[in-house]
Structure 1
Amino acid sequence: MGREFIELFEEWAEDYDKSVVGEDPQYAEVFSNYDAILDAVVEQSVGRVLEFGVGTGNLSEKLLQAGHSVIGIEPSKEMRGIAKRKIPDLTILDGDFLIYPTPNAQIETITSTYAFHHLTDDEKSIAIKQFSELLPPNGKVVFGDTMFKTEADKNMQIAAAVKKGHHDLAEDLNREYYPTLDTMKNAFEKHGFDVSFRQMNDFVWVLIANKK
C-alpha cells in the first residue's frame, strides 16, 4: 500500500522541497511546472478536502490559501513534522491511501500529488472504491501524478533517463507502480466516476474524476 517506500521518504524529507524546484537534475523534468501542477489541482477542488500524501505540505498550503478546509493524511513521520512546522494549523494525520482515520465531516474533494503511484494497480482499485464510498454524488478526486499514455511511452522515458545518466530516475520508474491513463480511467469508471486528464509536463498529468 505504498508503505514499503516510507524509509525512502523519511530520508528524502529534508531535501524534498529542493527537488521540487529543480535542484536535483535527475528529477527536474518530473517536477517541471510544479507550481502550475499544484495550482491545477487546487482550481479543480471544491469544498472540504481530504489530501493524501501531504508530504511537506506544499499542496495543503495552496488549498488553505484558496479557502478550503483540509484534512491531510501522510504516513511519513518526517514529512508530517516538516508540514506541521510550515503550516501549524494544518490537520495532518498518520495514514495512507488504504488505511486512514475516517473523517468526521463530509468530504467533497480528495486530492493528492506525486503519491498515488506508490500503490499497485490492485491497491489503486481498492483505494478508488473507498473514495467512491466516502464522497457524495458530484464529489471529486483530483490527482497530479506521473502517468503514461502507454507502457511503450513509459519504457521510452526509462530509456531516455538511462541515456542521460539519470539512473536513479530510471530505477524509480522501474520500481514503482506508474500507471497508464487507460488503467486509471478504467479503475475510476469501474467505481462510478467520469474521468478526464490534463497533461502538465512529460511525466505528470492531472486526473479529474467526478463521482456520478
Structure 2
Amino acid sequence: MGREFLDIFEDWAEKYDDSVAGIDPQYKEVFAQYDTILNEVSKHAKGIVLEFGVGTGNLTEKLLKSGKKVYGIEPSRPMRELAVQKIPALDVKDGDFIDFPETADPIESIVSSYAFHHLTDSEKAIAIEKYASMLPEYGKVIFADTMFESDQAKEKAIKDAEAKGYSELAEDLKREYYPTTGVLESIFISNGFNVTFQQMNDFVWLVIANKR
C-alpha cells in the first residue's frame, strides 16, 4: 500500500518544501508549476474532501482556504507533524490510500498530489474500486501525479535523467510505480468513472474522474 517508501519520505520530510520550491535541480522539472498544479486540484474538488498523502500540508492549505472541509490521511509521522505545525487545526490521521480510518462525514471528493504512484497498478485498482463504492453519484477523484503516456516515454525520462547526471531522479523513476495514463484510464472507467487527463509539466498530469 505504498508504505514500503516510508523511510524515504521520513528522511525527506524536513527538506520537502525546499524540493517543491525547485531548489533541487534534479526535481525542478518534476515540481514545475507546483503552485498552479495544486490550485487546479483544489479548484476541481467539491464539498467535503478526503486528501491522501497530505505531506507537509501544501494542498491542504489551498483546500481549506477555498472553504472546503478536509479530512487528511498521511502514513508518515514526520510529515503529519509538519502538516499540523503548518495547520494546527488540521484533522490528519495515520493511513494510506487503501487502509484508512472512516470519516465522520460522507466524502464528496478524493484528492491527492504527488503520491498515488506509491501504489502498484494492482493496488491502484483496489484503491479506485474502494473510492467508487464510497463516493456518491457525481463524486470526484482529483489526482495530480507523475505518470507517462507509455512505457517508452518513461524509459526515455529515465535515460534523459541519467544523461543529465540526475542519478537520484533516475533511481526514483526506476524504483516507484509510476503508471501510464492508459492503465489509469482503464481502471477508472472499469469502476464507473468518466476520466480526463491534462499534462501540467514534463512529468505531472492532472487526473479528474467523475463518478457516473
Query: Are 1:7 and 2:4 matched, yes or no?
Result: no
Task: Report SS of the residue matched to 1:23.
Answer: coil
**Shift in Å at residue 92 of structure 1?**
0.3
Task: Report SS of the residue matched to 2:206.
Answer: strand
**Shift in Å at residue 186 of structure 1?**
0.2
* Whole-angstrom CA distance in 2 between matches of 1:202 and 1:141: 22
Correspondence for 1:138: 138
* Whole-angstrom CA distance in 1 between matches of 2:40 and 2:18: 21
Alpha-carbon displacement from aligned partner over 1:179-206 (angstroms, at most 9, x marks no partner): 0000000001111100001110000000
The alignment covers a number of residue pairs equal to 212
Alpha-carbon displacement from aligned partner over 1:96-130 (angstroms, at most 9, x marks no partner): 00100011211010000000000000000000011
Correspondence for 1:96: 96
Query: Given residue 171 of structure 1, which amino acid in structure 2 is its aligned partner?
Result: E
Correspondence for 1:63: 63
Question: Among the aligned pairs, what percent are the same residue?
Answer: 57
- When normalised by structure 1's length, the TM-score is 0.99
Correspondence for 1:169: 169
Task: Report SS of the residue matched to 1:198.
Answer: strand
Query: Given residue 47 of structure 1, which amino acid in structure 2 is its aligned partner?
Result: G
* Whole-angstrom CA distance in 2 between matches of 1:127 and 1:24: 31
Structure 1, unaligned stretches of length 5 or more?
Answer: none
Query: Given residue 40 of structure 1, which amino acid in structure 2 is its aligned partner?
Result: E
Query: Are 1:182 and 2:182 matched, yes or no?
Result: yes
- Structure 1: 4+ residue segments shifted above 2 A: none
Alpha-carbon displacement from aligned partner over 1:45-87 (angstroms, at most 9, x marks no partner): 0000000000000000000000000000000000000000000
Correspondence for 2:17: 17
* Whole-angstrom CA distance in 2 between matches of 1:47 and 1:195: 19
* Whole-angstrom CA distance in 2 between matches of 1:151 and 1:167: 20
Task: Report SS of the residue matched to 1:124.
Answer: helix
Kindly report which structure 2 residues correspond to 1:31-50, keeping only aligned pairs within 5 A, or say none.
Answer: 31-50=31-50
Over aligned residues, Cα RMSD in angstroms?
0.4
